[in-house]
């Protein structure tokens, strides 16, 4: 059994490969004035930066405040995998959102990836964008699920093809004895997420958006013009958007009770010999298995293996993180058992009880976005877009998401983690069958 500790981090940034390979280091000022604007966005990750950018592109005067650095939270710590889809099984909510709402969510899941593609092209963002993705099967039942998934994507009108691969065919993309086969598509992909987000922040600046870092929000005053209060200043605005996700803390107890920060970890090896790297993932795709506590991995642009997983509901990482993750990586690629690990880091995923993104309003002028449950690189961009639509007079798709009910985690602060840990143990047991 391994010990646990809080994720390692500094006020500047995490000890991640992404921070080490960032195109530039952000140094936005701290908010030290009493300002006003059309919209103030709290949170400097994908949700916040893209909501602010969407609003600024439409001509609004926007201020963004971040408690640490841009992309400091989940955005700058994740696996960098671009995956389509919004949440899980929207049919569960058909009584609330209707058949048209279910169709809308599926369409948003297809569109989400295109937003990233268009944004990278429009603003010439250097972020190692690469298309190609494989879900990999550990058991025969996974192959049956992949076949059903392929057929389902076609049934909802997804224009992108999904190809079922047997064991030998999979080796053209991922060469590991661990997998029985897989499902390949070129509509998903991978990216250097921190570089994408800071590129989007620069795009926000180009539209006149003002960004403040090291400006932790300590209070929120409601009213005709709500006011966001930071440690050294404040912003009064016509609209407030709360996009701190798992890093929002206890600022709004109602939101905090509906999200559980879950820890996920990633390691980055030293740069691999190009021949070795190409033999491991010949297709240069991002890879994920279908378990509850899944493995996800890919090659970086400089041919490091980025290997992630180890999701748990304690909110803590193992003290021997590198050793634990090395063993998981070596189970997939024994050739990497003794390579040097240059970076190891963890971060919080915002888990919601029903695994659907949580969008809504605390008041007509205070909106929130949170809870991507480990599936956020593409959906954050879509949720940002429909939030900006809502605030500029086109609420239809936002209202579909807002109709989905989100219950607080049972057990309160003391018991919700143990309860979810028991639930996760149950699903891990099912994975082992």
What's the mean pLDDT in 255-269? 92
3-state secondary structure of 232: coil
Q: Decide: helix, strand or coil at residue 166.
A: coil
Quote the pLDDT of residue 421.
55
Average pLDDT over residues 299-325: 84
Q: Give me the pLDDT at residue 279, please.
A: 98
| Contact between residue 22 and residue 199 where contact means Cβ atoms under 8 Å apart | no
pLDDT of 374 = 87
Residues 255 and 249: beta-carbon distance below 8 Å: no
- The answer to whether residues 163 and 103 touch, using CB atoms and an 8 Å cutoff, is no
With a cut of 50, say whether residue 66 has pLDDT above it: yes
Residue 257 has pLDDT above 60, yes or no: yes
- Report d(CA 233, CA 145) in Å as an integer: 52
Question: Quick check: 315 pLDDT over 90?
Answer: no
Tell me, what's the pLDDT at 337? 97
Helix (H, G, I), strand (E, B) or coil at 270: coil
Tracing tokens 């007079």 back to the chain, one arrives at 393
pLDDT, position 266: 96
- The pLDDT tens digits of the residues spanning 323-373 come to 999 999 999 999 999 999 999 999 888 999 999 999 999 999 999 999 999
Kind of pairing between the strands at 358-363 and 366-370:
antiparallel
Of all residues in the chain, what percent carry a pLDDT higher than 70?
90
Nearest in space to 51 (alpha carbons), one of 251, 241, 255, 249 = 241
pLDDT tens digits, one per residue of 198-236: 999 999 999 999 999 999 999 999 999 999 999 999 999
Least confident of 80-89, 97-106, 114-123, 288-297: 288-297
Domains and CATH numbers, the chain: 4-79+194-257+354-411 (3.50.50.60)
Q: What is the pLDDT of residues 361-388, one digit of tens each?
A: 999 999 999 999 989 999 999 999 999 9
- For position 1, what pLDDT does the model report? 31
- Which residues are bridge partners to 190 per DSSP? 81, 130
- The answer to whether 157 touches 214, Cβ cutoff 8 Å, is no
**What contacts 421, CB < 8 A, 6 or more positions away?**
312, 313, 314
Where does the pLDDT of residue 426 fall: very low under 50, low under 70, confident under 90, or very high at 90 and above?
very low
pLDDT for the residue 414:
56
Going by pLDDT thresholds of 50, 70 and 90, the confidence category of residue 14 is: confident
Residues 169-196: pLDDT tens digits? 999 999 999 999 999 999 999 999 999 9
Alpha-carbon distance of 214 to 231, in angstroms, equals: 9
Point out which residues pair with 274 in neighbouring strands: none
Q: What is the mean pLDDT of the chain?
A: 92
Question: Which residues, at least 6 apart from 50, have a Cβ–Cβ distance to it below 8 Å?
Answer: 119, 200, 380, 381, 384, 385
Whether the pLDDT of residue 316 is over 90: the answer is no
Strands 366-370 and 234-242, bridge-based pairing: parallel
Over 80: is that where the pLDDT of 48 sits? Answer: yes
C-alpha angle 227-235-394 in degrees, rounded to nearest 5: 75
Residue 115 reports pLDDT greater than 90? yes
| pLDDT, tens only, 382-421 | 999 999 999 999 999 999 999 999 999 886 665 555 555 5
DSSP string, 178-214: T-SEEEEEEEEEE--HHHHHHHHHHHHHHTT-EEE-S
The conformational region for residue 123 under phi > 0 = left, psi -120 to 50 = alpha, else beta, is alpha
pLDDT band at 262 (very low <50, low <70, confident <90, very high): confident
Mapped onto helix, strand or coil, the DSSP state of residue 251 is coil
Q: 126 and 199 in contact (C-beta within 8 Å)?
A: yes
pLDDT band per the 50, 70, 90 thresholds, residue 2: very low
- Torsion of Cα atoms, 420 then 426 then 432 then 433, to 10°: -150
With beta carbons less than 8 A apart as the criterion, state whether 217 and 65 touch.
yes
Q: What is the band of 4 on the pLDDT scale with cuts at 50, 70, 90?
A: very low
% of the chain residues with pLDDT over 90:
83
């Amino acid at each position: 059994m391994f010990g646990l500790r809080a994720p390692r981090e500094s006020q500047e940034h995490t000890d991640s490969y992404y921070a080490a390979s960032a195109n530039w280091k952000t140094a936005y000022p701290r908010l030290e004035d009493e300002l006003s604007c059309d919209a103030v966005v709290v949170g400097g990750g994908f949700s916040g930066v893209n909501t602010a950018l969407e609003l600024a592109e439409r001509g609004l005067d926007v201020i963004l405040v971040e408690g640490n650095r841009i992309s400091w939270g989940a955005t700058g710590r994740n696996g960098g995998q671009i995956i389509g889809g919004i949440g899980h099984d929207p049919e569960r909510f058909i009584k609330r959102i209707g058949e048209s709402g279910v169709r809308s969510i599926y369409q948003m899941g297809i569109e989400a990836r295109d937003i990233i593609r268009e944004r990278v092209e429009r603003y010439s963002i250097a972020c190692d964008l690469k298309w190609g993705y494989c879900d990999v099967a550990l058991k025969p039942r996974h192959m049956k699920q992949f076949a059903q998934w392929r057929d389902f994507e076609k049934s909802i009108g997804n224009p992108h093809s999904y190809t079922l691969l047997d064991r030998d065919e999979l080796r053209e993309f991922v060469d590991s004895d661990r997998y029985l086969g897989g499902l390949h598509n070129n509509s998903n992909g991978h990216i250097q997420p921190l570089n994408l987000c800071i590129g989007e922040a620069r795009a926000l600046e180009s539209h006149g958006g003002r960004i403040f870092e090291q400006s932790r929000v300590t209070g929120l005053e409601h009213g005709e013009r709500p006011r966001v209060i930071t440690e050294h200043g404040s912003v009064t605005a016509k609209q407030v958007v709360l996009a701190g996700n798992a890093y929002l803390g206890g600022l709004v107890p109602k939101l905090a009770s509906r999200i559980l920060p879950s820890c996920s970890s990633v390691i980055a090896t030293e740069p691999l010999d190009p021949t070795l790297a190409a033999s491991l993932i010949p297709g240069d795709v991002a890879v994920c298995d279908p378990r509850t506590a899944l493995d996800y991995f890919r090659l970086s642009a400089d041919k490091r293996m980025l290997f992630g997983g180890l999701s748990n509901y304690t909110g803590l990482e193992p003290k021997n993180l590198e050793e634990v993750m090395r063993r998981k990586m070596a189970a997939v690629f024994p050739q990497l058992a003794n390579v040097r690990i240059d970076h190891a880091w963890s971060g919080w995923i915002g888990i919601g009880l029903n695994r659907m993104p949580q969008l809504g309003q605390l008041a007509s002028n205070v909106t929130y976005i949170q809870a991507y449950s480990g599936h956020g690189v593409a959906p954050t961009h879509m949720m940002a877009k429909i939030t900006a639509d809502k605030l500029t007079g086109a609420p239809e798709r936002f209202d579909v998401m807002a109709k989905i009910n989100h219950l607080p985690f049972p057990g309160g602060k003391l018991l919700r983690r143990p309860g979810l840990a028991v639930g996760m143990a149950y699903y891990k047991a099912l994975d082992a069958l």
